[in-house]
Amino acid sequence: MATLHGIAVSKGVVIGRAIVFDAGSRRMPRRTLPADRIDDELARFEAASVEAVDSLKRAHETAREEMGDEAARVFLFHLGMLQDKELVAPVRKMIRNQQVSAEYAVSEIFGQWERRFAASSDSMFQTKADDVRDLADRLVSTLLGETQGTIGDLTGMVVVGRDLTPSQTIEAARAGAAAIVTSLGGPTSHTAIVAKALHLPAIVGCSGVTRTVQSGDQLIVDADKGTLLVDPDEETLAEYAHIIEQRETYHLTLDEIAGLEAQTSDGVSIGLHGNIEFPDEISDVLRIGGSGVGLYRTEFLYLTSRTEPTEEEQYTAYARCVELLDGGPLTIRTLDLGADKYTQSREEIPERNPFLGCRSIRLSFHRIASFKTQLRAILRASRLGPLRIMFPLITSIEEFRRARLIVHDVMEDLAEEGQPITQTPPIGMMIEVPSAALLSEQFAREADFFSIGTNDLVQYTLAVDRTNERVAHLYQPTHPAVLQLIRQVVAAAQNHKVPVSCCGESAGDPEFALLLIGLGVRTLSATPDSIPALKRAVRSVDIRTCERIADKALTLDSAPEIATFIRDRARKIAPEAFDGRSDE
């Protein structure tokens, strides 16, 4: 039995047979054409482009029906690429100057862009390679007269490939695939977004999977943990069959508590909010028992388009959120672009270390016009219902004051245009770097609220890139230094009566949530599918028990020791609330 590890982007546990897809770009043979046929070949390319545009528009409409408006924006992104002169003009030039076939020119030019994307050191840049390949395959198929979407029945099978395009992911889901596993890809790739929207269990970035797995192999896909087991023994198969049964039973019981209050057994209310990328996710948040949105990641408005969204496009998205929440809390984070979330290709000189470079609020300051456009859209939406503005990666008091001042400048501009904002929305900040945590007492005098972002707080405190598999084991949310910083932030917030929440991945872990509640956090914001388990955990404990867990954890001196203690205590207190599946 072989065990491989990757990045879990859409949860689920599946047992099934593998079918290996060859998702590599097709290389067309070079054919030299007579000079008198070049104009006809250019016309053939133009006709194929028009047909591809029509096909993409149809795919967009179908995807809207199946996945919602926002996830379907993937196909609008592809439409934008097809109309990008920088991408398409070289194809026409190659056909004319080198007298080659249209399919060869598409294969070569798009292949060059794909390889350029894939070779980038920026992970967000790398994830665009599958979009280019998807578009190239669509064009070549059109030129060759092929019909897309004709794959056979995949019911119960696990699709494995070097990478899958968004179109292939949709086709696999329609054909009945139970899960997908790829050796490339990241959590923000369009393929990952599509898989999540389709609720198709998926693991990406699973290094070596195409070398290890062959069609017909028995696989266990543990997309909760990002683990792939190849040719498991009978004992392991039986164990995972039991896990799948446990998950099904557990999720049925979670459905039963969706409408109940998120209160501890001694009556203390805990806010359970959702982290979202798209407005349409709000319906899921509310359906499964969440009461609001604690983190709206607005950068996905940018990542699903080749051009910056206009003020109206942003306003429409924010207004939709307010409408769907119908008075419920909404926290909009301003752009957190940069590092792994932004293609350094847009920079004249790419940064060598973008995680420590011009990202998040720094990038907003660098691009004031774009920052003001976003703030205009947010402030206009604030007239429709309650929302809060949250700044990412604040490291100093000066940064927070500057960002807040820009908000007030934009409010003045709107007032002069006859669009006054009668009440300033609450303005808060992410606590996600050690400097912000250490200065939390000062920040608490000026910020309206805090949200602890454990993902970056752990990363920057421990100097660990959690996407780097060589050091990923050092990424430890239960590290004593991280817990000390969280305790300091919560204490400062309580001293100044500033609301404090936690919106990192750790907030969605029911066991870690008990620790956070014990430290004084009263609002947790997590992925929508984490909310039911969180609610069940919250309703199973009392505040004093959580405080005892936190007090004891703070006396321990290693992350593994703390993690083990929390897990053991949680399962001793309420085993039925923490046994949604077996652990190793």
- pLDDT for 116 equals 77
Annotated catalytic residue within 206, 321, 503, 546: 503
Contact status, residue 500 vs residue 449, Cβ threshold 8 Å: yes
What's the CATH code, domain 251-578? 3.20.20.60
Give the relative orientation of helices 166-174 and 38-67 as an angle to the nearest 10 degrees: 50
Q: Residue 349 burial by CB count (10 A; 0-12/13-18/19+): exposed, middle or buried?
A: exposed
Residues 6+ away with beta carbon under 8 Å from 235: none
Query: At residue 140, what are phi and psi to the nearest 5 degrees?
Result: -65, -45
Q: How many angstroms separate the CA atoms of 509 and 225, rounded?
A: 12
Angle of CA points 74, 338, 57, to nearest 5°: 10
- CATH ID of 2-21+152-230, from 3.90.280.10, 3.50.30.10, 2.102.10.10, 3.40.50.300: 3.50.30.10
Q: How many angstroms separate the CA atoms of 81 and 88, rounded?
A: 8
Quote the DSSP letter at residue 335.
Answer: P
- pLDDT for 584 equals 40
Contact status, residue 329 vs residue 361, Cβ threshold 8 Å: no
Query: At residue 420, what are phi and psi to the nearest 5 degrees?
Result: -65, 145
Question: What is the reported pTM?
Answer: 0.69
Residues 6+ away with beta carbon under 8 Å from 346: none
- pLDDT for 343 equals 43
Annotated catalytic residue within 190, 273, 321, 502: 190
Tell me the pLDDT of the chain (584 aa) as tens digits. 899 999 888 889 999 999 988 645 556 778 788 988 999 999 999 998 888 888 778 877 777 776 666 666 667 777 777 777 777 889 999 999 999 999 899 888 888 887 777 666 555 556 567 677 778 878 887 887 765 545 678 899 999 988 787 777 888 888 899 999 998 777 656 677 778 778 899 999 898 898 899 888 999 999 988 999 999 999 999 999 999 988 877 666 667 788 899 999 999 999 999 999 889 889 989 998 999 999 999 987 876 666 788 999 999 999 999 999 999 999 999 999 765 444 444 455 556 666 688 888 999 999 999 999 999 999 999 999 999 999 999 999 999 999 999 999 999 999 999 999 989 999 999 999 999 999 999 999 999 999 999 989 999 999 987 666 577 778 899 999 999 999 999 999 999 999 999 998 889 899 999 999 999 999 999 988 889 889 999 999 999 999 999 999 999 999 999 999 999 999 888 776 676 554 44
Q: How many angstroms separate the CA atoms of 443 and 400, rounded?
A: 8
- pLDDT for 582 equals 41
Q: State the residue for tokens 């590890």.
A: 5
Q: Which two tokens stand for residue 285?
A: 């948040």
Catalytic annotation present for 190: yes
- In the chain, where the domains are located: 2-21+152-230, 251-578
Count of CB atoms situated within 10 Å of the CB of 110: 24
Question: In 3D, which of 97, 168, 173 has the Cα closest to residue 136?
Answer: 168
Sheet of strand 7-10, all strands in order from the earlier edge strand to the far edge: 2-5, 227-230, 218-222, 13-21, 158-161, 179-182, 202-204, 7-10
Count of CB atoms situated within 10 Å of the CB of 112: 12
Q: Which two tokens stand for residue 71?
A: 């996830």
Angle of CA points 155, 208, 128, to nearest 5°: 80
Three-class DSSP category at 383: coil
Give the ranges where 344-472 is alpha helix by DSSP (H): 361-366, 368-381, 397-416, 434-438, 440-443, 454-462
Q: How many angstroms separate the CA atoms of 293 and 304, rounded?
A: 21
Question: In 3D, which of 501, 497, 487 has the Cα closest to residue 553?
Answer: 487
Count of CB atoms situated within 10 Å of the CB of 85: 8
String of b and e for 476-509 (b: at least 16 CB within 10 Å)?
bbbbbebbebbbbbbebbeeeebbbbbbbbbbbb
Q: Which two tokens stand for residue 205?
A: 């970035």
Count of CB atoms situated within 10 Å of the CB of 444: 20
- pLDDT for 340 equals 47
Catalytic annotation present for 502: no
Count of CB atoms situated within 10 Å of the CB of 405: 10
Distances from the Cα of 95 to the Cα of 139, 278, 553, 578, angstroms: 15, 40, 67, 62
